[in-house]
Amino acid sequence: MWREFLWILLGHGHLTAQDLLPLLPDSEILKKDIHLKSSESPEVSIIIPVYNQLAYTYNCLLSLREKISTHIQYEIIVIDDCSTDSTHTFFMSNATGIVYIRNMDNMGFLRSCNKAASQAKGRFLCFLNNDTQARNGWLENLLKTFFTDQAVGCAGSKLIFPNGLLQEAGGIIYRNGSTDRYGSLEPADLLRFNKAKEVDYCSGASLMIRKTDFERLHCLDDQYTPAYYEDTDLCMGVKHILGKKIIYQPQSQIVHFEKISSIQEAVSSLLHNNRHKFKNKWRIELLQHSEIP
């Protein structure tokens, strides 16, 4: 235990209010421009699905511009699911170096991700929520996980709440199909959450996979449309169909504001229905998992 407190005292991964970008009104964002150095031959395609919430999307992109190493060839794909705020105006007039796709009809989160992935040029796909802000080393540390161990199929980031507490250090899947997060609401700097490890799944808020593996699994399973459990299902496919590892990579860190635009009643219903679908699909494989303690 003393080693974990020493880790905190040394300040490893400490998050302060000064690390977070302030939210601006749309009227202020429309006065600003943003340019990212996307590559024509990217190693990684960063896919950001959006629906409204331009202020969060703008800050997400600012953080990527500042935090991604210049040594990585990447492209950023923003797929807009018929936003009704100023999102479309901003990307048509104020943003360069970004692949912007606007759906003609509302497709939902899952189908938007699949659509963007089909147009991605990178060898690796990195799905990233727009309500996130990347920290130093976010992308390069996710990417290096695959080159450290060729058996890695997916790699996910450490997710941190805006107050600095840990949101997730990888996830657990129980036998009944329900899930849980390692370390949620504990100090994010504890040493036990700062070691890469194999987990059942990682959140799609920041999740990397080879494009060839994504296609071998036939993309995100459409039965979970519009959203929820699609990332858990993808990780199950990586492990049980492809025979590869799911790795939590704590050196890749993002601040995740989480569900800033969700209606909680709708979320609860979707989670319940999709957990039932997930359990039916993976009922044999789930027998290998533990019961809820």
pLDDT value, residue 264:
56
pLDDT value, residue 204:
97
pLDDT value, residue 293:
83
pLDDT value, residue 3:
42
pLDDT value, residue 6:
36
Angle at 260 between CA 259 and CA 264, to 5 degrees: 55
pLDDT value, residue 220:
98
- Other CB atoms within a 10 A radius of the CB of residue 209 amount to 27
Contacts of 235-243 spanning 24+ positions with Cβ under 8 A: 235/154, 235/200, 235/201, 235/202, 236/173, 236/201, 236/278, 236/282, 236/285, 238/153, 238/154, 238/209, 238/213, 239/153, 239/200, 240/282, 240/285, 241/216, 241/217, 242/153, 242/213, 242/216, 242/217
Residue 262: pLDDT band (50, 70, 90) is: very low
* Separation CA 253–CA 135 (nearest Å): 6
pLDDT value, residue 47:
98
Tens of pLDDT along 225-241?
999 999 999 999 999 99
By C-alpha distance, which of 153, 83, 132, 142 is closest to 112?
Answer: 83
Q: Which residue has the higher pLDDT, 218 or 15?
A: 218
Tens of pLDDT along 64-87?
999 999 899 999 999 999 999 999
pLDDT of 61 over the 70 cut: yes
pLDDT of 26 over the 80 cut: yes
What's the whole-number average pLDDT of the chain? 92
pLDDT value, residue 80:
98
Tens of pLDDT along 126-137?
999 999 999 999
Residue 106: pLDDT band (50, 70, 90) is: very high
For 152, what's the count of Cα atoms within 13 Å in the CB-facing half-sphere?
25
pLDDT value, residue 259:
62
Tens of pLDDT along 163-221?
999 999 999 999 999 999 999 999 999 999 999 999 999 999 999 999 999 999 999 99
Strand partners, 207: 127, 156
pLDDT value, residue 7:
38
pLDDT of 8 over the 80 cut: no
pLDDT value, residue 267:
82
Residue 100: pLDDT band (50, 70, 90) is: very high
* Separation CA 256–CA 168 (nearest Å): 10
Q: What is the mean pLDDT of residues 90-98?
A: 97
